[in-house]
């Protein structure tokens, strides 16, 4: 039904309701209706003004005018016409409700509520009136009143997805535990309501109900199979659930459907990273950086991917950019410094292969600097001391310094080591043996010197 047909039906309904025979000339209403059908609203206003100038008691003409003004978004004038008609004695429900709708359009909700509530007291079975009143309560954050009306509407029409959706949204606002269950029912009643399905999935994700979010998204997928937003939320949910293969597959579908935002590229890159596909990680995260070069997490993952691909110089540059952008949180900074040190260790190994011995040595000293920074950021990270000792020992052949850091590290070890921690136990045994061996070697060298 187009807006003109709707307009005429309302006009004739008003005339019938009021029981008026306002026109002295039988052709007059048909003449106005012809102009309404042609959407010649200026002519309608002209004719009604001319007739009202001759007889201001032609009550239904005010209703015509009010409808036309509303169609043209002239809500103030529509209100004026409604009030004139009502002051002349036309107090039909149609013109009163039209006045209320104009108030709503102008955000005069208190005035609109007065009218709706007044009419509803004498017409509680009017479904459309109940819907409008419920919506207005919802707009005014009077959720408990809206909930009562939506429950009544659902008792009359239990399969109405709109009533179910609005009830769920109201329950959500008052943090009622049944809200998500009601919204899930609304989605199942109307699986084409993509916005609601995504909203519900995000709510489930916030509550860490990832499996329920995935179930909802998969339910609506056949009805919205080419919508990239749906695939994006589905992919992200799989990523949160550590279903990295499914996350990557769905993010690839998002790209295929034309969404190349940084969010999509970033999390696709992270999924590839978790799958240890470092080539795709590198390519995808580089594309993400072209959109926003201020994301520290992208630089961090890109740095590690670069190292895995033996792009050691790039890995160092990316890690430096990462922690320069990072907020100074100790537990995170120590992680970044440790990874930066690993990048320098890897770069030193590459330089050794290329016989760039000065660059190799510089890389190892840079690694030690970063291990020291990691320990300074978080002194519970004693593994940094161990790694400094290993670097001096294995890569720089500086045994005295290695011994000092091995010794410092051994002092931090707990004597109450759990027997089940085999890796830790092996490291303790290595430290003890290595300290003893270095001391023996240094003692032997002293004897030779003497």
68-117 per-position pLDDT tens digit: 899 889 999 999 999 998 988 867 888 899 999 999 999 999 999 999 99
CA distance 205 to 213: 6
User: Is 101 inside any structural domain?
Assistant: yes
- Per residue in 122-152, is it b (16+ CB within 10 Å) or e — as a string? eeeeeeebbbbbbbbbbeeeebebbbebbee
Domain membership of residue 412 as a residue range: 400-450
| Cβ-Cβ contacts under 8 Å for 392 (sequence gap 6 or more) | 368, 398, 399, 401, 402, 405
Cα distance between residue 410 and residue 400, in whole Å: 15
Give the largest Cα separation in the chain, rounded: 134
Of 106, 121, 147, the residue at which a domain comes to its end is 106
H helix count then E strand count, the chain: 24, 0
Closest CA to 300 of 273, 329, 263: 273
The answer to whether position 444 is within a domain reads yes
Q: What is the CATH number of the domain that holds 34?
A: 1.25.40.10
Would residue 62 count as lying in a domain?
A: yes
Which residues have C-beta within 8 Å of that of residue 354, sequence separation ≥ 6? none
CA distance 298 to 317: 13
Residue 424 falls inside a structural domain: yes
Terminal-residue alpha carbon distance, the chain: 108
3-state secondary structure of 277: coil
Lowest mean pLDDT among 83-92, 153-162, 266-275, 375-384: 83-92
Higher pLDDT, 34 or 435: 435
* DSSP-H helix ranges across 241-311: 244-256, 262-274, 278-291, 296-308
pLDDT band at 19 (very low <50, low <70, confident <90, very high): very low
Burial label for 414, CB within 10 Å (0-12, 13-18, 19+), is: exposed
In a domain, 339, yes or no: no
Does 199 score more than 60 pLDDT?
yes
C-alpha span between 269 and 276 (Å, rounded):
10
pTM: 0.69
pLDDT digits (tens, 9 = 90+) for 276-319: 999 999 999 999 999 989 899 999 999 999 999 999 999 999 99
Total tally of structural domains belonging to the chain = 2
Higher pLDDT, 248 or 330: 248
- Asked if residue 254 belongs to a domain, the reply is no
Q: DSSP string of 43-101?
A: HHHHHHHHHHHH-TT-HHHHHHHHHHHHHTT-HHHHHHHHHHHHHTT---HHHHHHHHH
Decide which of 106, 124, 142 is a domain's last residue: 106
Residue 80 in any domain: the answer is: yes
Domain endpoint, select from 106, 126, 151 = 106
Nearest alpha carbon to residue 184 among 173, 172, 174? 172
In a domain? residue 372: no
- Closest CA relative to residue 315, chosen from 348, 292, 343, 277: 343
The C-alpha angle with vertex 104 and arms to 100 and 109, in degrees rounded to 5, equals 90
């Amino acid at each position: 039904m187009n807006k003109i047909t709707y307009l005429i039906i309302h006009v004739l309904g008003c005339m019938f309701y009021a029981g008026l025979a306002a026109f002295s000339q039988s052709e007059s209403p048909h003449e106005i209706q012809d102009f309404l059908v042609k959407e010649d609203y200026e002519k309608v206003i002209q004719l009604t003004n001319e007739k009202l100038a001759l007889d201001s008691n032609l009550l239904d003409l005010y209703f015509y005018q009010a409808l036309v003004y509303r169609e043209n978004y002239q809500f103030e004038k529509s209100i004026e016409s409604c009030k004139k008609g009502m002051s002349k004695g036309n107090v039909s429900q149609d013109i009163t409700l039209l006045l209320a709708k104009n108030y709503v359009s102008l955000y005069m909700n208190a005035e609109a509520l007065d009218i709706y509530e007044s009419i509803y007291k004498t017409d509680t079975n009017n479904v459309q009136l109940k819907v409008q009143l419920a919506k207005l309560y919802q707009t005014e954050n009077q959720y408990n009143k809206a909930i009562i009306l939506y429950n009544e509407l659902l008792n009359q029409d239990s399969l109405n997805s709109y009533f179910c959706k609005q009830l769920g949204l109201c329950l959500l606002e008052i943090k009622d535990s049944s809200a998500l269950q009601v919204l899930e029912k609304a989605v199942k009643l109307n699986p084409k309501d993509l916005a609601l399905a995504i909203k519900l999935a995000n709510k489930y994700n916030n509550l860490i109900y990832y499996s329920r979010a995935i179930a909802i998204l998969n339910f609506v997928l056949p009805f919205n199979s080419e919508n990239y937003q749906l695939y994006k939320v589905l992919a992200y949910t799989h990523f949160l659930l550590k279903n990295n293969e499914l996350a990557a597959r769905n993010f690839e579908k998002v790209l295929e459907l034309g969404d190349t935002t940084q969010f999509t590229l970033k999390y696709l890159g992270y999924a590839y990273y978790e799958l240890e596909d470092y080539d795709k990680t590198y390519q995808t995260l580089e594309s993400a950086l072209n959109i926003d070069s201020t994301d520290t997490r992208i630089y961090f993952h890109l740095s590690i991917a670069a190292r895995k691909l033996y792009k050691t110089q790039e890995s160092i540059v990316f890690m430096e950019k990462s922690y320069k952008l990072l907020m100074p949180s100790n537990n995170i900074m120590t992680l970044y410094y440790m990874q930066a040190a690993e990048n320098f260790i890897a770069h030193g190994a590459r330089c050794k292969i290329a016989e760039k011995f000065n660059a190799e040595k510089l890389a190892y000293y840079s690694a030690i600097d970063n291990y020291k920074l990691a320990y300074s950021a978080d002194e519970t990270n004693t593994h940094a001391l161990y790694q400094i000792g290993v670097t001096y020992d294995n890569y720089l052949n500086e045994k005295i310094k290695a011994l000092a850091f091995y010794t410092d590290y051994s002092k931090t070890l707990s004597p109450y080591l759990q027997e089940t921690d085999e890796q830790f136990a092996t490291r303790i045994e290595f430290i003890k043996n290595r300290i003893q061996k270095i001391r023996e070697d240094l003692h032997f060298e002293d004897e030779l010197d003497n």
